[in-house]
Chains A and B, each alone.
Chain A
């Protein structure tokens, strides 16, 4: 539907739009900009869903008119970083895949733990399960493959790595991410507001717990 400063707007049926961004930084800027515009009453959308390289707007009354308006907006990079909250996740670093991660990273296990503790992560987006945040912040060379065969059950609170992301399993589920630790923090609670701790844009530290 058009290209604007490296961001392209793609059509998604009768009620939605997909902002296709150049990189995760641009995704975060647009996510923050669109949430802000919606809160200010300048944008009508039932859902604004960031992902790895895109932002989806769903429940949009008039996608074409909305696309034209978005084309005239420039996301403000300053408000993005200034308003983000920080969540400290107390983490016990005893994951059974730590030696495997150490081998991929060409470090010792204590060095891996130190890197993870020192990294400032950010929730890039949620998916897979309610409250599961994809955390970015590790350098690209630290990307790791998933296990060839997923574990049938990864316990709730498991801190794990896959691809360029870190993540924490909010509930027990099958999973192929590499386990580096665990937390007792409840990540998703339907009686809390908001129900998820790791909302998009939130800064995260995996501190020793």
Chain B
């Protein structure tokens, strides 16, 4: 491959070539577009992320609940890795310039196509020019929206995901954006209904000790497994910050930066654990006391949700 490099220093790759038309509206070659009438509080384009670049400092990113995005994609006939929208606290109003099939998965939320009510977890037919409205979830936080053909913004390093940490991928969706859609991909999955996962009042997470569990006191390791934590309001796509018993260190001093994984429970100087989510940095300078098996439940954990950890043997 030819390595094209700009001669001039740029302000960064963030806003380059993302394909999101703000100044000049664009659409896919045959696919029409989504006109964003109301973006909602925090809506981003997400697919399954850009793994394989962590050694260059590029986070994985991608949907916080990949299975929920993949389900939405299957319901509209897309491959599982097509790009859709990830909504935090809903609040979206979208107009399709062409007829299409859409599906919303994730939290329990009101969905309307013009004035016609729709359901979460079902394919919905949207006529050309109709307006799709997604309300505010009754429980939980997030929804994933797939449209047949997928959102066709230009991929960056193989992914259309917005990485809120590094700024790679399209910028977060804003009012007035026009998101190009791809052409039809395949027939929608022959399902009428899927069963959503209820959002539990209390989230139990399986935690495996390591890689730096030995940097903490035995008391800290017991506190982590034996006491309740709550999700802090400053949680985001980078990490779920928890509030609870402070975890004290057995080893003082600074940990040289080391690679971290999705679900790593990092403990900064204040002793309050932080669980890394999709947009986590590739390396971190605080010790990781353990790693959570499955972080997807945290995608729906509102601030104040109780989180408890238990070992894998339970």
The answer to whether B12 touches A171 (Cβ under 8 A) is yes
Per the bound structure, the CA–CA distance linking A127 and B167 in Å amounts to: 14
**Which of B3, B16, B256, B259 counts the most A-chain CB atoms under 10 A from its CB?**
B259
Stretch at the interface among B49-57, B143-151, B192-200, B236-244: B49-57
How many residues of chain A are within 8 Å of chain B by beta carbon?
Answer: 53
The answer to whether B17 touches A59 (Cβ under 8 A) is no
What are the interface flags for A174-204 relative to B under an 8 Å C-beta threshold, 1 for contact and 0 otherwise? 0000000001111011111111110110000
Q: Could you tell me the dominant secondary structure of chain A's interface residues?
A: loop
What are the interface flags for B1-32 relative to A under an 8 Å C-beta threshold, 1 for contact and 0 otherwise? 10111111111111011000000000000000
Set of chain B residues within 8 Å of A127, measured between Cβ atoms: 57, 257, 281-283
B114 at the interface (CB under 8 A from A): no
Per the bound structure, the CA–CA distance linking A129 and B52 in Å amounts to: 15
Which residues from 220 to 279 on chain B have a C-beta closer than 8 Å to any C-beta of chain A?
256-261, 263-264
Q: Could you tell me the dominant secondary structure of chain B's interface residues?
A: loop
The answer to whether A49 touches B11 (Cβ under 8 A) is no
Which residues from 34 to 75 on chain A have a C-beta closer than 8 Å to any C-beta of chain B?
46-56, 58-59
Closest to B208 in A: A13
Per the bound structure, the CA–CA distance linking A146 and B46 in Å amounts to: 36
The answer to whether B51 touches A171 (Cβ under 8 A) is no
Set of chain B residues within 8 Å of A126, measured between Cβ atoms: 55-57, 282
Which residue of B7, B263, B283 is within 8 Å of A49 (Cβ)? Answer: B283
Rounded to whole Å, the gap between the CB of B262 and the closest CB of chain A is 8
The answer to whether A58 touches B57 (Cβ under 8 A) is no
Stretch at the interface among A14-22, A78-86, A99-107, A111-119: A14-22
Closest to B256 in A: A52
Per the bound structure, the CA–CA distance linking A170 and B168 in Å amounts to: 13
Binding site for B on A (CB under 8 A): 10-16, 18, 20, 46-56, 58-59, 125-132, 134, 155-157, 170-172, 183-186, 188-197, 199-200
Q: List 22 A-B contacts (CB under 8 A).
A: A13-B208, A14-B208, A46-B52, A48-B55, A49-B283, A51-B259, A54-B258, A55-B259, A126-B282, A130-B57, A130-B168, A131-B56, A131-B57, A155-B9, A171-B10, A183-B9, A186-B5, A188-B13, A189-B4, A190-B17, A190-B156, A196-B56
